[in-house]
Amino acid sequence: MAQAQTEAGKLLMGGNINYSHFDSDNDQQSTSSTSPLSYKTTNKSSQFNFNPQLGFFLADHLAVGINFNIGFGKQSGSTEDYLGTLSPSSYASKGTSKNFGLGPFVRYYKMLGDKFALYGQLGSGYQYSEQKSTTDNPNVYSYRSTAKSGFAALTPGIVFFPTSKIGLEVTVGSLSYYRGKQTSYSSAPSYNNSTSRGTTSSFGASFGVSQLALGAYFYLGRS
């Protein structure tokens, strides 16, 4: 019985994963006699996120627990003749990113027959993120930034139960709030180093194919 999979006293163990990749090319030319310009840029980036969770059903269809978030990313790019044909400058760049989050969540299920259910999950917590970018040109800045933030997110999803103890899930985004403090460092051998600090807050909805996450969970406990 599908109702038994989300009954009080059971454990919820599992998580979801998300992977995205982005490519861009930009080729621009200008024949202006006073400021001729010709440059081409290419950029590639990839991001992987893993979101494990552990929960307990306090009541039928209602679970509470701990939510983790771990992510890693890579970026690379190249620029040719960025300063124009009179003063050409070409360089390559590469970067990395990482993030870690931790916090509580509450999840509620609405059963749709024997095999399917809709659910909504409200989660919040703390997150740390870091980004680095370096170049092979001494006239172009390299960057490093860190952020410490609090977050809250409401995520809808659908779950399919192929067996009494396994649930396969799909989500395509969330409604979220973010507030954090950032510190950025920039440096280049030909210029002075600089440091900046700031606070950012945002609220919005992010849904789409790029937000697609697939998950698998175990529903453990009495039958």
Cα distance between the two ends of the chain: 9
Find residue 216's DSSP bridge partners: 15, 168
User: Which residue, 156, 109, 80, 127, is CA-closest to 4?
Assistant: 109
Average confidence (pLDDT) over 132-139? 81
Cα distances (Å, whole numbers) of residue 156 to 42, 55, 118: 35, 17, 8
Q: What is the pLDDT of residues 47-91, one digit of tens each?
A: 999 999 999 999 999 999 999 999 999 998 887 765 554 455 677
Find residue 67's DSSP bridge partners: 53, 103
For the purposes of burial, counting CB atoms within 10 Å of the CB of 185, is it exposed (0-12), middle (13-18) or buried (19 or more)? middle
CB half-sphere exposure, 131, CA atoms < 13 A: 17
Show the CA angle centred on residue 126, arms to residues 125 and 130, nearest 5°. Answer: 145
User: Which residue, 198, 75, 193, is CA-closest to 146?
Assistant: 198
Average confidence (pLDDT) over 194-206? 87
* Residue 34, pLDDT score: 56
Q: What is the spatial distance between Cα 201 and Cα 222, in angstroms, rounded to a whole number? A: 44
Checking 199-205 for CB contacts under 8 A at 24+ apart, the result is 200/147, 201/177, 202/177, 202/178, 203/176, 203/177, 203/178, 204/175, 204/176, 205/173, 205/174, 205/175, 205/176
pLDDT higher at 15 or 27: 15
Average confidence (pLDDT) over 163-183? 91
Q: What type of residue is 105? A: F
